[in-house]
Structure 1
Amino acid sequence: MTRTNSITLPHSLQIEYILTHSLDPLTMTDTIDSTRNSKDNNSMKVLKTPNPLDQQCTKANIEIDQTRNKLKQFSNNNNEDPQSTANSYIPSACSSTSKKSMIPSSPLKPKGSNSHFQFATTAYGVRLLNKDISNTKIDLEVENLMIVTKLNDVSLYFLTREVVEWILVNYPSITVYVDKKLKDDEKFAATEIYKDSKCRAARIKYWDPEFVDDHDVFFDLVVTLGGDGTVLFVSSIFKRHVPPIMSFSLGSLGFLTNFKFEQFKYDMRNILSRKIKTNLRMRLECNLYRRHEPQYDPEKGKKVCIMELVSTHHVLNEVTIDRGPCPFISMLELFSDDSLMTVAQADGLIVATPTGSTAYSLSAGGPLIYPTVNAIEVTPICPHTLSFRPIILPESMTLKVKVSLKSRGTAWASFDGKDRVELQKGDFIKISASPYSFPTVECSSTEFIDSISRQLNWNQREQQKSFTHMLSQKNQEKYATESKENEKRKEEANQDEQVEEVEENKKSDVKFVL
């Protein structure tokens, strides 16, 4: 089955490409992964479309991910003309007068296949596209809607039932998937929901983590009922592609849950009937490697250390490497792109995303980072030095945190606070920006500032007051009169200065003419 998908962007940067996949979502994912790993991925082209495209992308998490990967490549063809190369990567930029100045019109060809001109042109197109993606609104054609409920709170079972009933009544084309653990629960009472209509029974289905792992591109929208922990749980079960996430605040914290449940009907009508804007939150891909005893390699004639890939995690907040129950201080070697940055002697290290900057990293003294910024934050936990401060690194950098062979004890790692595992000496975690982002439906353009102001009282203090409230009534009247007179004097002085400037300009013009 072949499907042509397109994304229409504000600056008319239009990209058309083909997604070839079978009906099985697993086969589609394997096709995408094999395309990334193929030898010809440097020759992937962004095609110029002759006419504007009207179709909006309906699977934003797939199309945007594929588009970003394609724009990372630039042509290796030595015979390409520079202007045509520019057109192939920023097709509409050449038609704009303001953007023409950014593209040289020199007929000279680049010396090499990856010339500076091609590189600069590609970088220019990528920057424009990044701006456009952040402002792009998409149409959701929702057929399969997934609801994730915080199971620890029994009161949320009734709220889940209320949401399911409302969707089934008002949107006959939508199939609702709820947690399989609610299927036989008396509080959820699924049989009572569809007892009045047999067609509703076919539209209530159930999911479990195994089903989600096998059908990650199956769902069109995920609705969470809980707190930030519920959102982190969604990130853990969607290991690859993630559908848009709409989170209702029903927990203790609300950095990721910006929709109020009291108005869920109004908000869901807007989401299901209008174009929406999503925030692409960066995730980290963490690969855990185990060190085995060195074995003799006959080809190299010496013993070689063997590292085994044990597990892979995609985290939305942070990966934490700490000393755990070990009484000794941790000795962790931090590498960037296989180069040693530093050796941390501390209780541990936190490698966080911008989304995780409001979590454990903040408690350890890390800075706040806007969630849509693509960066990696490294924050030490109680370092035994005064100079080890948190550092923000680019997303293109690959980090490696290794338990030093000289360390007195072991270390422990956790991924978004879960899957805690012990690291022996020589074990390491390889950390890089995940190609699979986490799209959250935007409630308002100021939701991040509102959340840190609401949860952290960010920059809130009592305003300074004047001393006039300490004066008597008689002196307050005198003070008010003097203030008005001073304002009049300032206005008159400003007018006089403007008149003098005009006269000086006239004199200078006369001198210039003479």
Structure 2
Amino acid sequence: MSQSPSPGHSRFETIGLIWKNSDPEVLQSLHEVVEVLRGYSIRLLAAEQHDLFSAGEVSTLPEMARQADLIIPVGGDGTFIQTARHLSAFSGKLIGVNQGHLGFLADIQPDSIEATLNPVIQGQYLEEERFLLEAKVIRNGKTLFECKALNDVVVHKWSHIRMLQLETYVNGVFVHHYRSDGQIVSTPTGSTAYALSAGGPILYPTMDAMVLVPICPHRLSHRAITISSDSKIDIKVCGKTPVNARVTCDGQDDFELCKNDIVKIRKSPHTLTILHPEGHDHFHLLRDKLGWG
């Protein structure tokens, strides 16, 4: 199935593979990816044991991040995001195989793995740099929780219907005090995710900006605000009644909040490089995924 190019034809020396092991369709795509990569003089690293890999090819995520020139997550956007968050400190390169629903981040489709992956391995690709967010929860002057997010950091209500009362500050300047179901702080990458469903704008992926999007605000005049990505955002949990709130990063890591907790959100110093096949068109992607005419 895969071609056998001349030695040195591959642009990458070491490639890491991460996948969702419980999905048969993902495993089928993984098999096809490995078959393509075996046609090159490439060292493979696997995130877990599988019959496709020798014992010497199984690696921990930190080892993979340090050694791999490229990492390929096989799964949906959730698998891609989880990989990105864990590996962002190493400034790695990623290209994903989509086995999810929308697939805004994973460019390689299951029915075109060989046709899409071969040119990329040979150096025919586009690079796009994305930034991440870092969030921490401060309570009584102490940091209790920290996380990274490629898409968004969300302060939201939890198990009760009662609205939250939040105060937002940008660069130390008071923005507003309002009642709502929560607030989303999104990167351009995340602007087509939860932020979009909450009424936020779509940001071009390479924009140096982020957006604050209220979730079901009580006052209809509260709208999304786009700010510089270098802004420092503080969200304070207020109110007289018992607080029923959490902060969640990319829908994967969360932490329970108390009254007077402050969620500090900053642009991470680490970036992520996403590879796209040549000819990638973001507006075509939007038309396709969002059903535009």
TM-score under structure 2 length normalisation: 0.89
Q: Deviations over 1:82-139 (max 9, x none)?
A: xxxxxxxxxxxxxxxxxxxxxxxxxxxxxxxxxxxxxxxxxxxxxxxxxxxxxxxxx9
Aligned pair 1:363/2:231, yes or no? no
Q: 1:424–1:222: structure 2 CA closer, same or farther, 3 Å change rule?
A: same
Aligned AA for 2:190? G
Match of 1:287 among 117, 122, 136: 136
Q: Deviations over 1:17-75 (max 9, x none)?
A: xxxxxxxxxxxxxxxxxxxxxxxxxxxxxxxxxxxxxxxxxxxxxxxxxxxxxxxxxxx
Aligned pairs, number:
285
Please state whether the residue corresponding to 1:361 is helix, strand or coil.
helix
- Determine which structure has more spread, i.e. the larger CA radius of gyration: 1
Aligned pair 1:271/2:120, yes or no? yes
Aligned AA for 2:45? Y
Please state whether the residue corresponding to 1:146 is helix, strand or coil.
strand
Q: Quick one: distance in 1 between partners of 2:155 and 2:163? A: 12
Match of 1:175 among 30, 35, 43: 43
Report the counterpart of residue 485 of structure 1 in structure 2: none
Q: Is the 8 A contact 1:334 1:342 kept in 2?
A: yes
Aligned pair 1:257/2:127, yes or no? no
Q: 1:408–1:140: structure 2 CA closer, same or farther, 3 Å change rule?
A: farther
Report the counterpart of residue 206 of structure 1 in structure 2: 58
In structure 2, runs of 5+ residues without a counterpart are: 1-8
Q: Quick one: distance in 1 between partners of 2:237 and 2:229? A: 23
Aligned AA for 1:175? R
Q: Which has the higher helix share?
A: 1
Q: Quick one: distance in 1 between partners of 2:97 and 2:65? A: 22
Q: Is the 8 A contact 1:364 1:380 kept in 2?
A: yes
Match of 2:36 among 158, 163, 166: 166
In structure 1, runs of 5+ residues without a counterpart are: 1-138, 194-200, 292-306, 461-514
Q: Quick one: distance in 2 between partners of 1:215 and 1:148? A: 10
Q: Is the 8 A contact 1:323 1:330 kept in 2?
A: yes
Q: Which has the higher strand share?
A: 2
Q: Quick one: distance in 1 between partners of 2:30 and 2:71? A: 13
Match of 1:335 among 146, 160, 169: 169
Please state whether the residue corresponding to 2:66 is helix, strand or coil.
coil
Report the counterpart of residue 154 of structure 1 in structure 2: 24
Q: Quick one: distance in 2 between partners of 1:240 and 1:310? A: 21
Report the counterpart of residue 347 of structure 1 in structure 2: 181
Report the counterpart of residue 102 of structure 1 in structure 2: none
Report the counterpart of residue 243 of structure 1 in structure 2: 92
Give the deviation of 1:344 after TM superposition: 2.3
Please state whether the residue corresponding to 1:436 is helix, strand or coil.
strand
Aligned pair 1:219/2:68, yes or no? yes
Q: Is the 8 A contact 2:47 2:61 kept in 1?
A: no
CA RMSD of aligned residues (A): 2.2
Residues 281-320 of structure 1 aligned to structure 2 (within 5 Å): 281-291=130-140, 307-320=141-154
Aligned AA for 1:251? G
Report the counterpart of residue 409 of structure 1 in structure 2: 243
Q: Deviations over 1:362-414 (max 9, x none)?
A: 11111111111111110000101011010100112100111126454231111
Q: Deviations over 1:281-329 (max 9, x none)?
A: 12111122223xxxxxxxxxxxxxxx11123222111111111113321
Residues 80-229 of structure 1 aligned to structure 2 (within 5 Å): 141-168=11-38, 170-172=39-41, 174-180=42-48, 183=49, 188-190=50-52, 201=54, 205-207=57-59, 211-213=60-62, 216-229=65-78
TM-score under structure 1 length normalisation: 0.52
Report the counterpart of residue 419 of structure 1 in structure 2: 253
